[in-house]
Amino acid sequence: MFKILSLILLSSLALNAHVNVMVTDDTEINNTSKQELSNLYLKKTTELKGKKVTVINNKKNYDEFNKKVLNKTPSQIHAYWMKQIFLGKKVPPKNIEQESLKGEISNKKNTIIYSSEKLDKKVIYETH
């Protein structure tokens, strides 16, 4: 019984992970809002603070980010992207594994990525 309760507690803590949105250090962007991130990650815009940016999803924190920033459940975000793709309007941001985040964000200026792990990059937004 104790093992089951421990697993439930750990699962709930994992689902409430603190997610940081980060950019490369040489990016001139220092902060952003939840609405600006939502517009970027739903590809309603490609610019933040007048700078063209590339957004990348982290597979590990994907559902948590969508819940906390986009206010969408996994099924809602899936339906949104299926509709966009079907209509030929947009394709979702690239999804990468947690292990590839540092390399991905280090290679490109004005790249935005999120993670529950500290990546030693400039944090421009924190979820709670």
First to last CA, the chain: 30
pLDDT average per 10 residues of sequence, the chain (128 residues): 48 64 88 96 95 94 95 96 95 93 81 89 90
Kindly give, in sequence order, each residue whose CB lies less than 8 Å from that of residue 31, ignoring residues fewer than 6 positions away.
124, 125
| CATH number among 3.40.462.20, 1.10.287.1080, 3.40.190.10, 3.40.50.850, domain 18-126 | 3.40.190.10
Which stretch of DSSP H or E encloses residue 56?
Answer: strand 54-58
Query: What's residue 75's pLDDT?
Result: 96
Kindly give, in sequence order, each residue whose CB lies less than 8 Å from that of residue 67, ignoring residues fewer than 6 positions away.
73
Query: What's residue 7's pLDDT?
Result: 43
Q: Are 110 and 54 in contact (CB under 8 A)?
A: yes
Rg of the chain's alpha carbons, rounded to an integer?
15
Q: How far is C-alpha 97 from the geometric centre of its chain's CA atoms?
A: 12
